[in-house]
A and B are shown apart, each in its own frame.
Chain A
Amino acid sequence: MAKSMQNVDPDDLLGKAYDGRVARRLLSFVRPYKRRVLLLVLAAVTAITCDLLLPWLFSRAIDEVRPDGPRRAEMLNLLGLAFLGALALRFLAMWGQFYTTSWLGNRVVYDLRNTMFRHLQTLSLNYIDKRGVGAIMTRIQNDVAVINEMFADGLLGIFSNVLILVGIVFVMLLTDWQLALLAFIAMPIMILVMKKWRVRAVETYRTTRRTISAVNANLAESIAGMRVMQAFGREEGRRKRFQALNHANLVATVDAARLGALLLPIVILIGATAVVVVLFAGGRLVFNTEMTLGELTLFIVLVDRFFEPIRDLSQQYNTMQASMAAGERIFEVLDVEPDVRDKPDAKPLPPIKGAVRYDNVRFGYGPTEILHGINLSVEPGETVAFVGETGAGKSSMINLLMRFYDVWDGAITIDGYDLRDVTQDSLRSQVGMVLQDTFLFGGTVRDNIRFARPDASDEAVERAARDVGAHEFISKLPEGYDTPVQERGLSLSVGQRQLLSFARALLADPRILILDEATSSIDTQTERIIQVALHRLLQGRTSFVIAHRLSTIREADKVVVLDQGRIIEQGTHEELLAHRGVYFQLHAMQWRGEEQAAD
């Protein structure tokens, strides 16, 4: 409910306050709640009508009781009752207005976040990698929050303020149009001053934002580099630098404070001028009985209230600008087309045996082709090791098999089914993947193991853990399988995390397994456990491994050597060595390099 501007990016303040395209799409999120919107408009109109009715009733009372008025007691009672009635009505209207605004704003935010999240699930990893986790988070968190502000503060605020201005003008014109015009003399001055003020305010606001982000950036870096700073004894130098930035921010914020404060006397003075004009000119009208005393007091009350909405509108203008920019960023995300879509007539892939064929596959990211006509045939149960330099196309091979992307040309089939003819869900539920960097989710060790099969029993989870040799360290954790993985103080080693991901994959029990072997440092003992676990994991299913361990390569049924997007050799480790081709050379060079280091 607070009129906060903290989500507003200063760079948004010079943008458009109304962008038809963005506004229409934002409003489309409100459309399902038409009845509530109608209710809201009704409540707002009622509240403002009552707001204007109250001073009018008061002025009527004054005219009733003034020395030369009719002075009827029963009329006064009636006016008192009407006042009470208007108050009660305003209470109901405002209650409804506050509540409905909040409901609508939060509902739209809910729908936006939900839509964005669901859309995000359909996008390729490529998108997330390119954009970065932080940037995507910002869209769903902050930009959407700005939209909430737009509904709560911007749209409704503008609507209410415009309505009240129109109401005041209307009542004043109706009472005495000449005096009304006289009172509004001050208005153009007010608008002119506000405009001038706004330009400077935006500038100052930007300076404060710039200086504070310099302070925060320095602070974040200082905290992250605190150890280095202390090791090199540079505390004092860095502190001076921080204090200088902090001081620059102080100067800017104090500037902003002065500018903000400046608006107050301006509004007070312009308001007072209008009151004085009304008092003097209106007083003469009352002398000449062209106007009643009550009407004059009504004028004074209304004129006094007139300038506040104008001041508020300036603030709401900022909110609108910021929301247009935020809306544009939101739709930018929603407009990203998924790289891969299910065909309308896509069928679920029936349970597979695991025969995989790459048939003259061509593929690339963006304009450059990465894979140039790949042919590969894999029998059910075989283990294939991909070997090759970075950029040779290993990752593309497995990305295509998971159908994170579609091939440009040629086809990949599993058991004869073209991947493009089946649903992605049915494909991925039968193809498992273990990645280099083990990602663990919040929740317990158990939750993480049964990530792919949330309904798995505790026994099944434990069996999987035992099979990969993870049970031993898990049972030593403070709460065993129920230990939260992200609890502070509990740090699982790289090796342990890998074992967890193996257990996760084993429990999912996919027919086809894809494994990107990790290269991170693991101590020798864990390394042995992992090799055993790997062996267990690959057993009895078709497996594709981006291999880094020689033991893995040796055990593979097929070693596929990739070079610049082509398969240049394939066979078993022994066959390839005997062949004395590229693989032999690579292998020998590595071996020799090690030999030299040892002597």
Chain B
Amino acid sequence: MCSGTTALTDEGSFVKIIIRILSYLKPYKGRVAVAYVSLFLGLAAQLTLPIVLARAIDNGIADRDLGYLGWAAAVYLGIAALQGIFTFGRAYLINALAEQVGNDMRDQLYAHLQRLSFSFYDRSQTGQLMSRATEDITSIRGMLMMTLRTIALIAGTLIAVTVILFRLDWVLAAVALAVYPPLVVFSYRFGIGIRPMFARVQQQFGVMTSALQENVAGGRVVRAFAQEANENQRFQEELVELFDRNVAAARKWSVSYAGMLLASGIGIGAVVWLGGHRVLDGAMTVGTLFAFNRYLTMLAEPIRWLGFVVNRIARAIASGERIFGTLDTKPAIANPPNAQELTNPTGEVSFDSVTFTFPGTKREALSAVSFTARPGEKIALVGPTGSGKSALVGLIPRFYDVDDGRVIVDGYDVRELDLHSLRGQIGMVMQETFLFSETIRENIAFGRPEASQAEVEAAAKAAKAHAFISELPDGYETVLGERGVSLSGGQKQRLAIARGLLMDPAILILDDSTSSVDSQTEAEIQEAMRNLMAGRTSIVIAQRLDTVRDADQILVLQDGRITQRGTHRELLGREGFYRELYDLQRSERTGTGASLDGQPAEAARSGELARSPSPVEVGTGG
């Protein structure tokens, strides 16, 4: 199937993209040269064969010369062997080159994706980025395989056959080849013209797919509201449209393709009739007539491919446009020139009137936020969802840049610091734990791959993860992920804590909410978190009371502003959001048990394996 729907934009960018794709061949000039030498030698051998046959017919058979015939046969076999060798050479080299280019592009894309910053990933979908590296590269690779060969073969065959035929018999050549110029033009036009029809098919395929996806994913709703009949109807309409578009494309290409075969046949027909007459007139030999037939057959094959080549190129250009679009995206965050290394920081973090808006959005996520966390202090962030807590913590490791003001770590504006050394000093444990499909050991040592087994185990013990890890079949060497063991939310969280601990960061950023775990596990996680925070500057997105209670500073965020600050006791003593929230929770606690973030506590406390927690589990758990 075709990918993408981008039409050929304009000639200029068309050529530019082709040149840029071809520039990937530059490091392999030597191999390209050998490939083309092979290609033309193979072609030359192939073009010699009809002459050998013609000679065998005219001199061997017509003159009844068995010796000559034997020689001709041997020469034919020898030349065919050469053709075989050179054909192998060019096929192997060209295909290997195309693979190499695809491989290089993929490496380059990967390295570039690593440099792009969080704001890029906020607006991109994983699936789309994946298709850059899969479908788009496949389409470019396929195009190279086909065009590197075919265009040279078409040009070479066309020129050589024309020259040879004109030298053999220019009258017959002129007539027989007359169909080819229009055929080449038609074939090229066909390739261009069929492209939008395939694009339409592809587009409708996408529509059909999303209709299907929705129906399957939303199956519960469809059934709950008894909408099966409507859904059947809707899906069928998309299918009919897909069918119609496919058949419309088939209507066009079937007649064109058959027509191209007809046109190349007419050239051979001319040879039969006119060539026959010229033999009768004594103007040419039977052998030459046969050679004419062979050459025209040879010519028909690559020309037939021309339409597909054009179509392939159009697709590859659309793919190239997308790949280069990604490659040309400048990282929003880059290391500054003369970057300062952050070594042995004390862990002081301060915000100096920071204003920040997430790229691509309009509303300010943070407005003039200022605070200072002294080394070793614990700062609790409190506020409703969307109040700017995540934005605030994302600015410290410089995942985003501020619009105004400064984020200062150990006296340096983070924009002056070497990114690696800054992030190396910050440990993060967030609510959504992402683990890689590697061993548990590798996951814990993710930030410090050189850590010893003893260090890894020590971190796991402090994170209360050692016990469950030891119970796994392969212990620390257990592979996680799709093909490996899957862990519960609470177990993942403890691994993330161990991962953060092993980094031994000066600054810690933590989301203290525990995803659905039982109360025993929860207590363990809380203890692990306390271990983690000890002796470091910690900035905690606080969801629980005990975190807030012993914080050195509580910052209440509302709509991107700090509306209240102080300790638990201080804030309780004042009118305001904090006390309201506290009171609201106390009054509702009997039922909803909403925690500080308005999240019902039972969600966080139900059994570890629970899927749909209910209030009752709160009791049984506690």
B92 and A452 form a contact (CB under 8 A): no
Collect the chain A residues with CB atoms within 8 Å of residue B276's CB: 61, 64-65, 76, 79-80
Collect the chain A residues with CB atoms within 8 Å of residue B84's CB: 264-266, 268-269, 272
Collect the chain B residues with CB atoms within 8 Å of residue A92's CB: 258
**Known contacts A91-B262, A258-B96, A587-B619: does B591 contact A121 (CB below 8 Å)?**
no
CB distance from A70 to the nearest CB of B (A): 11
* Nearest 10 pairs of A and B residues by beta carbon: A550-B591, A80-B273, A265-B84, A272-B80, A102-B250, A433-B224, A589-B619, A98-B254, A428-B226, A257-B95
Q: Is A367 an interface residue (CB 8 A)?
A: no
Residue of A133, A220, A388, A519 contacting most chain B CB atoms (<10 Å): A519
Q: Is B81 an interface residue (CB 8 A)?
A: yes
B428 and A90 form a contact (CB under 8 A): no
Q: Please tell me which stretch of A156-164, A181-189, A314-322, A436-444 contacts chain B, meaning at least 4 of its Cβ atoms lie within 8 angstroms of it.
A: A436-444
- In the bound complex, what is the Cα–Cα distance between A208 and B220 (angstroms)? 39
Q: Is B600 an interface residue (CB 8 A)?
A: yes
Collect the chain B residues with CB atoms within 8 Å of residue A271's CB: 80
Complex interface bits, B116-152 against A, C-beta within 8 A gives 1, otherwise 0: 1110010100100110011000100000000000000
Q: Is B573 an interface residue (CB 8 A)?
A: no
A519 and B603 form a contact (CB under 8 A): yes
- In the bound complex, what is the Cα–Cα distance between A432 and B227 (angstroms)? 12
A216 and B130 form a contact (CB under 8 A): yes
Q: Is A192 an interface residue (CB 8 A)?
A: no
Q: Please tell me which stretch of B344-352, B405-413, B418-426, B531-539 contacts chain A, meaning at least 4 of its Cβ atoms lie within 8 angstroms of it.
A: B418-426
Collect the chain B residues with CB atoms within 8 Å of residue A266's CB: 84
Q: Is B353 an interface residue (CB 8 A)?
A: no
Total count of chain B residues near the partner, CB < 8 A: 162
A387 and B96 form a contact (CB under 8 A): no
CB distance from B249 to the nearest CB of A (A): 8
Complex interface bits, A486-521 against B, C-beta within 8 A gives 1, otherwise 0: 001100010000000000100010000010100111
A586 and B223 form a contact (CB under 8 A): no
B386 and A2 form a contact (CB under 8 A): no
A435 and B220 form a contact (CB under 8 A): yes
Collect the chain B residues with CB atoms within 8 Å of residue A136's CB: 216
Collect the chain B residues with CB atoms within 8 Å of residue A242's CB: 107, 110
Complex interface bits, A145-185 against B, C-beta within 8 A gives 1, otherwise 0: 10000000000000000000000000000000000000000
CB distance from B155 to the nearest CB of A (A): 20
**Known contacts A219-B133, A589-B620: does B214 contact A441 (CB below 8 Å)?**
yes
CB distance from B222 to the nearest CB of A (A): 7
Q: Which residue of B lies closest to A85 (CB)?
A: B269
B64 and A287 form a contact (CB under 8 A): yes
Taking CB atoms and an 8 Å cut-off, the chain B residues in 545-603 that contact chain A are: 545-546, 581, 584, 586, 588-594, 597-603
- In the bound complex, what is the Cα–Cα distance between A136 and B218 (angstroms)? 13
Collect the chain B residues with CB atoms within 8 Å of residue A586's CB: 615-616, 618-620
Collect the chain B residues with CB atoms within 8 Å of residue A546's CB: 612, 614
B591 and A254 form a contact (CB under 8 A): no
A493 and B269 form a contact (CB under 8 A): no
**Known contacts A264-B87, A287-B64: does B613 contact A225 (CB below 8 Å)?**
no
Q: Which residue of B lies closest to A111 (CB)?
A: B239
- In the bound complex, what is the Cα–Cα distance between A48 and B232 (angstroms)? 42
- In the bound complex, what is the Cα–Cα distance between A1 and B616 (angstroms)? 61
CB distance from A592 to the nearest CB of B (A): 7
Q: Is B69 an interface residue (CB 8 A)?
A: yes
Q: Which residue of B lies closest to A436 (CB)?
A: B612
- In the bound complex, what is the Cα–Cα distance between A452 and B218 (angstroms)? 13
B265 and A590 form a contact (CB under 8 A): no
Q: Is A572 an interface residue (CB 8 A)?
A: no
Q: Please tell me which stretch of A16-24, A293-301, A355-363, A533-541 contacts chain B, meaning at least 4 of its Cβ atoms lie within 8 angstroms of it.
A: A293-301
Residue of A128, A269, A597 contacting most chain B CB atoms (<10 Å): A597
A432 and B225 form a contact (CB under 8 A): yes
**Known contacts A65-B279, A223-B126, A439-B218: does B87 contact A233 (CB below 8 Å)?**
no
Collect the chain B residues with CB atoms within 8 Å of residue A76's CB: 273, 276-277, 280
Collect the chain A residues with CB atoms within 8 Å of residue B107's CB: 242-243, 246
Q: Please tell me which stretch of A277-285, A324-332, A468-476 contacts chain B, meaning at least 4 of its Cβ atoms lie within 8 angstroms of it.
A: A277-285
A389 and B255 form a contact (CB under 8 A): no
- In the bound complex, what is the Cα–Cα distance between A114 and B423 (angstroms)? 53
CB distance from B360 to the nearest CB of A (A): 7
**Known contacts A257-B96, A404-B223: does B213 contact A133 (CB below 8 Å)?**
yes
Contact partner, A98, options B222, B223, B258, B385, Cβ 8 Å: B258
B247 and A524 form a contact (CB under 8 A): no
Listed A/B pairs (29) with beta-carbon separation below 8 Å: A61-B272, A62-B289, A62-B290, A65-B289, A76-B276, A80-B272, A102-B246, A102-B247, A106-B242, A107-B243, A117-B212, A117-B235, A117-B236, A128-B219, A219-B110, A220-B126, A231-B423, A247-B103, A257-B99, A261-B87, A279-B76, A519-B600, A522-B598, A524-B598, A548-B613, A548-B615, A588-B619, A589-B620, A589-B622
A425 and B290 form a contact (CB under 8 A): no
**Known contacts A222-B113, A228-B434, A451-B221: does B62 contact A67 (CB below 8 Å)?**
yes
| Supplied contacts A226-B116, A276-B77, A425-B226, 15 more A-B pairs, CB within 8 Å | A106-B242, A227-B118, A228-B446, A230-B117, A253-B99, A272-B76, A275-B76, A283-B56, A395-B612, A433-B224, A435-B220, A508-B225, A586-B620, A592-B622, A593-B618
A90 and B622 form a contact (CB under 8 A): no
Collect the chain A residues with CB atoms within 8 Å of residue B603's CB: 519-521
Q: Is B251 an interface residue (CB 8 A)?
A: yes
- In the bound complex, what is the Cα–Cα distance between A577 and B261 (angstroms)? 88
Q: Is A417 an interface residue (CB 8 A)?
A: no
Taking CB atoms and an 8 Å cut-off, the chain A residues in 414-465 that contact chain B are: 424-425, 427-429, 432-433, 435-436, 439, 441-442, 451-452, 454
Collect the chain B residues with CB atoms within 8 Å of residue A432's CB: 224-225
Q: Is A390 an interface residue (CB 8 A)?
A: yes
Q: Which residue of A lies closest to B385 (CB)?
A: A523
Collect the chain A residues with CB atoms within 8 Å of residue B114's CB: 222, 226, 229-230, 235, 238-239
- In the bound complex, what is the Cα–Cα distance between A286 and B65 (angstroms)? 11
Taking CB atoms and an 8 Å cut-off, the chain B residues in 354-410 that contact chain A are: 360-361, 384-386, 397, 399
- In the bound complex, what is the Cα–Cα distance between A220 and B482 (angstroms)? 12
Q: Which residue of B lies closest to A549 (CB)?
A: B592
Collect the chain B residues with CB atoms within 8 Å of residue A549's CB: 591-592, 600
CB distance from A270 to the nearest CB of B (A): 10
Collect the chain A residues with CB atoms within 8 Å of residue B64's CB: 287
CB distance from B384 to the nearest CB of A (A): 4
**Known contacts A88-B262, A283-B66: does B446 contact A232 (CB below 8 Å)?**
yes
CB distance from A239 to the nearest CB of B (A): 6
Q: Is B100 an interface residue (CB 8 A)?
A: yes
**Known contacts A402-B224, A489-B360, A489-B361: does B615 contact A553 (CB below 8 Å)?**
yes
Contact partner, A590, options B134, B290, B622, Cβ 8 Å: B622
Q: Is A343 an interface residue (CB 8 A)?
A: no
Q: Is B454 an interface residue (CB 8 A)?
A: no
- In the bound complex, what is the Cα–Cα distance between A396 and B282 (angstroms)? 95
Q: Which residue of A lies closest to B98 (CB)?
A: A257
A219 and B617 form a contact (CB under 8 A): no
Collect the chain A residues with CB atoms within 8 Å of residue B546's CB: 597
- In the bound complex, what is the Cα–Cα distance between A109 and B446 (angstroms)? 47
CB distance from A522 to the nearest CB of B (A): 6
**Known contacts A110-B240, A264-B88: does B110 contact A239 (CB below 8 Å)?**
yes
A95 and B254 form a contact (CB under 8 A): yes
B113 and A280 form a contact (CB under 8 A): no
A54 and B265 form a contact (CB under 8 A): yes
Q: Is A237 an interface residue (CB 8 A)?
A: yes
Contact partner, A287, options B66, B449, B599, Cβ 8 Å: B66
Q: Is B47 an interface residue (CB 8 A)?
A: no
Taking CB atoms and an 8 Å cut-off, the chain B residues in 155-187 that contact chain A are: none
Collect the chain B residues with CB atoms within 8 Å of residue A287's CB: 61, 64, 66
Q: Is B70 an interface residue (CB 8 A)?
A: yes
Complex interface bits, A95-121 against B, C-beta within 8 A gives 1, otherwise 0: 100110011001101100110011011
A231 and B426 form a contact (CB under 8 A): yes
CB distance from A454 to the nearest CB of B (A): 6
